[in-house]
């Protein structure tokens, strides 16, 4: 799988190594950021497991950004009954993460987090909180109000604050889809290291979610950023998410997210994406 260097904000010190990965130097432990592009699910799954098995205490942590073709994935203790339509034509892959069933497809960002939690002195619950906070911050840059739900990992549409509603959040669409899920996460911890990660819906065909009980919850609505009135470039959002994940994982505040449209966010924060 190839990796493409990413242009990020000036908060990062980036060096391109031999295989064109980007080294994000934030805090004590740098993170290697790899852009995998469009990749089938199974090779990524196999590569994550192989990476985790082969890593040593000196192996740098990595974030992989990828967009998968259509696939359902069922967690280690997942109930196959949550797949409601067996003949959908979409493959089902049983995986070793936590959680139930979810869907990946075009128009969704998947960020795989290959982290040494022992080296970072991070407990799993705190890692989940930081991942969720990174997604909330990412969506806030697009005037989207989101929040957590107790006992249900992931990110859900919330009521916009006065500050968010002022600059252009679509309050009506937030109200219409309040409580809908826009991002899901699932992790596997092996020998103190994590793999799998978080998915964020940008602009996708949401109909496959109707063929499952998303994350095991019957009737749970799933939305994307486009549903909430945001026309955002997949790569722009992926870059923003990578930035926020890196800051959160390293426990550094970074620059506070400022609501603005995707075009100005890209120009102000990332420069060229080519």
Q: Annotated catalytic sites, by residue?
A: 215
> Which are the contacts of 208, defined by CB distance < 8 A and separation ≥ 6?
70, 72, 88, 90, 103, 105
Alpha carbon separation from 61 to 28, 80, 132, 249 (Å, rounded): 12, 33, 19, 10
Lookup: tokens for 167:
């600059």
Site of tokens 């969720």: 132
Residue 156 main-chain phi, psi, to 5 deg: -130, 150
In angstroms, rounded to a whole number, what is the distance separating the alpha carbons of residues 96 and 2? 24
- Secondary structure class of 56 (helix, strand, coil): coil
In angstroms, rounded to a whole number, what is the distance separating the alpha carbons of residues 269 and 236? 10
By C-alpha distance, which of 37, 68, 194 is closest to 130?
A: 194
In angstroms, rounded to a whole number, what is the distance separating the alpha carbons of residues 187 and 114? 10
User: Residue 251, CB half-sphere, CA atoms under 13 Å: how many?
Assistant: 10
Helix pair 234-249, 262-269: axis angle to 10 deg:
60
Residues 65 and 238 sit within 8 Å (Cβ to Cβ): yes
């Amino acid at each position: 799988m190839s990796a493409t260097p990413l242009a990020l904000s000036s908060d990062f010190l980036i060096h391109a190594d031999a295989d064109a990965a980007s080294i994000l130097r934030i805090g004590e432990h740098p993170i290697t950021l790899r852009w995998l592009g469009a990749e089938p699910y199974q090779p990524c799954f196999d590569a994550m497991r192989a990476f985790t098995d082969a890593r040593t205490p000196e192996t740098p942590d990595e974030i992989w950004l990828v967009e998968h073709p259509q696939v359902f994935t069922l967690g280690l203790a997942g109930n196959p009954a949550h797949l409601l339509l067996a003949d959908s034509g979409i493959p089902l892959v049983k995986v070793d993460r936590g959680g139930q069933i979810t869907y990946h497809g075009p128009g969704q960002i998947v960020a795989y987090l290959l982290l040494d939690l022992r080296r970072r002195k991070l407990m799993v619950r705190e890692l989940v909180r930081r991942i969720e906070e990174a997604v909330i911050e990412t969506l806030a840059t697009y005037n989207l109000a989101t929040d957590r739900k107790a006992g249900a990992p992931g990110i859900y549409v919330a009521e916009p604050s006065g500050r968010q509603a002022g600059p252009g959040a679509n309050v009506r669409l937030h109200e219409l889809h309040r409580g809908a899920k826009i991002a899901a996460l699932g992790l596997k911890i092996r020998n103190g290291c994590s793999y799998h990660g978080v998915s964020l819906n940008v602009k996708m065909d949401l109909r496959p979610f109707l063929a499952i009980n998303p994350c095991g919850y019957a009737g749970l609505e799933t939305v994307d950023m486009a549903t909430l009135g945001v026309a955002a470039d997949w790569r722009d959002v992926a870059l923003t998410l990578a930035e926020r994940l890196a800051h959160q994982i390293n426990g550094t505040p970074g620059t506070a997210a400022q609501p603005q449209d995707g075009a100005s966010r890209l120009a102000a924060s990332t420069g060229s994406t080519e």
